Amino acid sequence: MAVTIVPSSDAGEDATRLAAALVSLDTTNPGLVTGAPGERAAVEHLRSRLDRAGFTTHVLTPHEDADRPSLVAYPPDSERLPTVILNGHLDTVGPGAMVEPFSARVVGDRMFGRGAADMKAGVAALVVAAERAAEFGVVRPVLALVADEEDAGLGSETVIAALPALGIRPDVCLIAEPTDLALARSVRGFAVVLVRIGGRAAHSSQPDLGTNAVSRLGRLIAAVDEHAPRVRAAGGDLMVTVARGGESPFVIPAAAECVVERRVAPGETLVEVVTEIRTLLEPDWDTTIEVLAQREPWRCDTAGPARRWGEALGERLGTGWGLDAPYWLEAPLWQRVCPTVVSGPSGGGLHSDDEWVDLAQLRAFTRVLVDTLGMPELWGARAD
């Protein structure tokens, strides 16, 4: 296996340097910030590094947008080994009001910058661990470093669709999202639902001649707020986040609409969620419901390769299965392909103006990841 590892005294320090290089690149998601550059600079930087290390690399783009590249990389001649997907996203949210968002400024054990915690430190750990795992020859590390996680998920969907043609049959996947090194037990899904409510226009001096769609919207919002505590008690959430209605004063509004967000707990289905929202509407109203976006929830397997790897990681990191993620991440997409585990370094200020990553966590995570990828007793041989 022709893989060359750049000498280093410590994998954790290598990951720190790589994280700084990645944070210095602006990879703001253009789906979130118009005109933003996207992930290409990070893909080019990592592809160059991995090409030099002897990896086989592929740049994949979705049909919808050829300017949104993702990178797949793996050591050659390793197909006989258990295949481990190492997944992270290269895009970030916008810099907002951050001061020097791409400086990778280090203060003590904190590195500041957009994407430092979410999730360029995690990506750096994956890359360094893959390089060393290739040298060990215990597993086949496949880096899946994707675009667009912060918006529509085009990157992971594109990579997953391409795996069979690349000859990649994953046995297990690790997503290094920021978890403070905890192992994720579950991830909530979501549904974003647009509810349109009809009425009948009339002069506001004669409201009885019309039907006020905004009044109906107000009753729906009240019904959502009344029902929300029961949803939260079951592990989900429910709220109205956008509301619109009416055209001008002196006119009874003939139309109104709102966006209802429903966070979906593991065990719930997206079909049940839409039915639930319908029950909050009064039956004689003129309404339509449109699902704008939806993602299913996820729960980590209780046995099998993801569970075994998670236990090994948690034991060495001093953490455990302590995270039930209230937000969505791409574990459900990867679980369709293979058992999936989620753990990675974090810090603070994610998506805010003072984002930082804990470098002690980054170093520890990288070292433990390298150790576990080199444990023959953990991986054995491919079942096929």
CA within 13 Å, CB half, 341:
28
Calculate mean pLDDT across residues 152-173: 97
| Residue-level pLDDT at 383 | 57
Query: 314-358: per-residue pLDDT in tens?
Result: 999 999 999 999 999 999 999 999 999 999 999 999 999 999 999
Query: 194-252: per-residue pLDDT in tens?
Result: 999 999 999 999 999 999 999 999 999 999 999 999 999 999 999 999 999 999 999 99
Phi, psi of 263 (to 5 degrees): -85, 135
Write the DSSP symbol of residue 274: H
Distance CA 113, CA 98 (A): 8
Domain ranges of the chain: 11-186+298-379, 189-295
380 band by pLDDT with thresholds 50, 70 and 90: confident
Helix (H) or strand (E) holding 124: helix 121-136
Matching CATH number, 11-186+298-379, of 3.50.50.60, 3.40.50.150, 3.40.50.620, 3.40.630.10: 3.40.630.10
Distance CA 188, CA 204 (A): 44
Query: 5-43: per-residue pLDDT in tens?
Result: 443 459 999 999 999 999 999 999 999 999 999 999 999
Does residue 306 have a pLDDT over 90? Answer: yes
CA 323 to chain centre: 15
Distance CA 39, CA 115 (A): 12
Q: Between the CA atoms of 123, 125, 126 and 127, what dihedral angle is there, to the nearest 10 degrees? A: 90
Query: 135-159: per-residue pLDDT in tens?
Result: 999 999 999 999 999 999 999 999 9
Rounded to the nearest 10 degrees, what angle do helices 40-52 and 121-136 cross at? Answer: 20
Tell me the percentage of the chain whose pLDDT exceeds 90.
95
Give every CB contact of residue 208 below 8 A, 6+ residues apart in sequence.
202
> Is the CATH number 3.30.70.360 carried by domain 189-295?
yes
Single-letter code of the amino acid located at 94: G
Outline where the chain has alpha helix (H): 11-23, 40-52, 121-136, 154-162, 213-233, 270-279, 305-317, 331-335, 359-373, 376-379
User: Is the Cβ–Cβ distance between 343 and 179 less than 8 Å?
Assistant: yes
Report strand pairing: 83-89 vs 140-146. parallel
3-state SS, residue 276: helix
189-295 shares the fold of 11-186+298-379: no
Calculate mean pLDDT across residues 176-204: 98
| Residue-level pLDDT at 4 | 43
